[in-house]
Amino acid sequence: MARRGEQSGTLLLEGLAAAPGIGIGVAVVWVRTEPVFPEYSLHPDRIETEIERFERAARDALAQIDAIRRPLVGVEIVDSILSTQAMILEDRQLRDDVARRVRSERINAEWALGLEMRRLDRLFAEMEDAYLRERRADVRDAARRLLLNLLGHEPDRLVELRGPAVIVASDLSPAEVSQLDRERVAGIVTEAGGRTSHTAIVATSLGLPTVVGVDGATARIGDGDVVVVDGDTGRVIARPSAREVENERRRERSRAALERAWLRHAVLPAETRDGRRVRLCGNVDSARDLEALARHGARGVGLFRTEFLYLNRSTPPDEEEQFRHYRAVVLGARPDPAVIRTLDLGADKVPAGLPRRSEANPALGLRGIRVSLARPEILRVQLRAMLRAAAHGRLRILIPMVSGIEEIRRTRELLEDVRLELEGSGAGLASSVELGAMVETPAAAAVADALALEVDFLSIGTNDLIQYTVAVDRENESVAYLYDGLHPAVLRAVRGVVDAAHAAGRPVAVCGELAADPAAAVVLVGLGVDELSMQAPAIPRVKARLRAVSLADARSLAGGLLALPTAREVGDRLGKAFRGSN
Ligand code: PEP
Ligand code: MG
């Protein structure tokens, strides 16, 4: 995908936009120097000393991870990735397997570790589940750290960079990204990786503009080259001319100025020009996101994705730990409500500790409420924690991946059961908690009238509703051109759900990414949606756009779009309607 630019020496590369923002810096082409595994046989007398040397190296490696992790406590995803590495090193199984090889094959610890790691690497590489395959990087990282300790080397530290640097690497593990110093790193470019890799998630959470999937980046970009990383578009410019650098700086400045300008809207009411109020809430993936809510003018939490609490650990969080998280979210949302979703595990979100069968079509398989009802003991703990947290504010429970009303009824039964249990135990709990259903499947959209009668509110998850309505895998780059929230089938489904819910007197939210697109937000409001939930930083921009239109305009725009036959025509009409707007 790389091509030479117009000006001699300038190189324009394209990849996948993985973490937003524009970063400009000096390339540090980071090629991992792979340590050599020394291999030698041992005299039987030396075997126990060798195993002790190995155990010491494992303890040192664990202490290093602990030292890196300590200042990152609270950066939840980073913390959990380092925890995975620690878990691998603490695992008796791995340590015993290496010791067994040292004993039975009478070989040195580095050799035994190398053999064991190659076996594990093959095992992970063959796993069908993409999430588990990605854990391979954590296993490799842990082994590498252990090996460097055995060899008496200081592990590589990307932390000692002089900034602003753009890290260019064939691959960068999440743990490596987590060690980067935000003050000194301007951006990241990698050859490997996808938008949903943990590397991308950590980079986003650290605010580092990142482009992944850039073919040949380490060969084409030289150490010391100036590099521009555009994490919004997926463009990477190496060796730009002075004019291009100035252009990009200007773009970055106007991007920052726009964000500041939008931030002024944070304090204004979210309403159309003619006074129609729309509730704008924040999507929260961890307690870390709570701080951004008030600053960006969020009215509570519209979606807390609880499954992130379960990933990267071998045992699920217990009731107490969940209760503490949910209470923090409820308190963070006050005086507004917090919508907390029951586990949406499955598909691309699989926790380390839950054994599961491989599935040919995981997106159509055991995920969301299907997992929770298949493992009611897990759902019960979650519901108990939620009911207890509800005593501290306004908590609403949301059920993901609903495909029929039986799932709602079964969940309600469990909820009532758990409530009786808690009442008997004397625990503090709220007198009532609202229950809502996500509309993410065409089935849920089609029976929205019946669904609405079973719940207190509906929330449309457009990320999945698009995937299932258009039959387009949301993770698959090769069919990404079909993944379009403006597809007439999606707009009609939203209108149908809104009409059905309103006929039953229930409010409707949209909590998928579509809500964060200012033009699409106007269309959703025009279709009658009552609430939009998005990552908090997107709120001011959406609010600014809503405040610039009247409800009548939004309705007539949405009505016109519904009559169009293709996504392209919808996009063109919308583009025309907002030409020149932010
Ligand atoms: C959605 O599908 O729109 C949604 C909000 O849920 P998730 O992105 O977690 O699948
Ligand atoms: Mg979803």
* Closest C-alpha to 143, from 65, 78, 89: 89
Q: 147 and 163: one domain?
A: no
**What whole-number distance in Å separates Cα of residue 437 and Cα of residue 439?**
6
Residue 299 lies in a domain: yes
In this structure, the answer to whether residues 124 and 188 fall within a common structural domain is no
pLDDT string in tens for the chain (582-residue length): 333 333 348 999 999 888 888 999 989 888 766 667 788 999 999 999 999 999 999 998 888 777 766 655 554 545 666 777 788 888 888 889 999 999 999 999 999 998 888 888 888 878 877 767 767 777 777 887 888 888 876 555 554 456 689 999 988 876 677 677 778 899 999 987 665 455 776 677 677 999 988 988 999 998 888 999 999 899 999 999 989 999 999 998 988 888 888 888 889 999 999 999 999 999 887 777 788 898 999 999 999 989 878 775 667 889 999 999 999 999 999 999 999 999 998 776 666 555 556 788 888 999 999 999 999 999 999 999 999 999 999 999 999 999 999 999 999 999 999 999 999 888 778 878 999 999 999 999 999 999 999 999 999 999 899 999 999 887 676 787 888 999 999 999 999 999 999 999 999 999 998 998 899 999 999 999 999 999 888 899 999 999 999 999 999 999 999 999 999 999 999 999 998 776
SS3 state at 209 = coil
CA 40 from centroid of its chain's CA atoms:
44
Q: Which residue has the tokens 């709990």?
A: 429
Is the beta carbon of 305 within 6 A of some atom in ligand 1? yes
Structural domain containing residue 217: 2-32+157-244
* Residue at 492: amino acid letter: R
State the closest ligand 1 atom to the C-alpha of 347, by its place in the atom list counted from 1: 10
Best CA proximity match to 26, nearest among 156, 168, 157: 168
Provide the annotated active-site residues: 198, 511
- Report which DSSP code applies to 335: T
260 domain-assigned: no
Looking at the structure, tell me whether residues 175 and 133 fall in a common domain.
Answer: no
143 and 89, same domain (yes or no):
yes
Residue 398: enclosing H or E segment and its boundaries? strand 395-399
Residue 349 beta carbon below 6 angstroms from any ligand 1 atom: no
The CATH number that applies at residue 166 is 3.50.30.10
For residue 511, the CA-to-ligand 2 centroid distance in Å is: 9
Which of ligand 1's atoms lies nearest the C-alpha of 463?
3
- What's the chain's length in residues? 582
- Three-state secondary structure string covering 471-539: CCCCCCHHHHHHCCCCCHHHHHHHHHHHHHHHHCCCCEEECCHHHHCHHHHHHHHHCCCCEEEECHHHH
**How far away, in angstroms, is 352 Cα from ligand 2 center?**
20
CATH number at 101 reads 1.10.274.10
Last residue of a domain, one of 244, 269, 304: 244
Residue 251 lies in a domain: no
Q: How far is the CA of 461 from the centre of ligand 1 (A)?
A: 5
Q: Could you give the number of structural domains in the chain? A: 3
* Co-location of 313 and 410 in the same domain: yes
Instruction: Let me know if residue 249 belongs to a domain.
Output: no
201 and 130 within one domain: no
Domain boundary among 244, 265, 295: 244
Q: Mark whether 359 and 392 lie in a shared domain.
A: yes
Is the Cβ atom of 474 under 6 angstroms away from ligand 1?
A: no
In terms of domains, do 100 and 163 share one? no
The answer on 168 and 131 residing in a single domain is no
Taking the CA of residue 283 as reference, the ligand 1 atom at the shortest distance is: 5
266 domain residue, yes or no: no
Q: Under DSSP, is residue 179 helix (H, G, I), strand (E, B) or coil?
A: coil
CATH number at residue 500: 3.20.20.60
Ligand 1 mutation pick, 464, 483, 494, max ligand atoms within 8 A of CB: 464
Same domain, 404 and 514: yes
